[in-house]
Structure 1
């Protein structure tokens, strides 16, 4: 079976679409970077390098400093597919990113986007 073409697509070719999507909905690039950092562990310099050097999505995720352990809690639909049911690990990581960017653009509070646990009231 042929590899999905998005795996070889440069992260830099999709990144501007993420920026446009969140800014169009009143969110900031700083918030987008917070989401990317939370998911992948890349800092500002790492994100800038990934955009500048045209690394593929495969390399972007393979070189991610630290995928967040709570990423497995990302659920819901993206492109008509439930992200928690995606079997290919790389495709799931890509769709996790898409899902987080969608949630940010839809105006969800950052605490919900980043899956922060809110302690129960006593």
Structure 2
């Protein structure tokens, strides 16, 4: 019993000390005059977003009782799936919203997405 208690205490007591010291790890090769800089805010440039709007094509929106899908660049997607780093956040009647970070990109259907059978064409 005493051996089990001692082993338990040896494992449990140093745990918080290890957790605290791991948060304060310092690179031993760091120069003495080094001052850490806060991470810079990443600004997404609007130009690449606009270029992606031209590269991503929404061709069809499929709606059924079970699910709704959007076909972008020939790939069927549902909400929360990603394409080119964008997450599909909304599927509307004729458009979808894609989000990457704080920026939202709206794609509109490029074609009607409605196919008529030969009987309907007359």
Normalised TM-score (structure 1): 0.21
Larger C-alpha radius of gyration, 1 or 2?
A: 2
- Larger helix fraction of residues: 1
- Larger strand fraction of residues: 2
Bigger RCO of structures 1 and 2 (CA < 8 A, at least 6 apart): 1
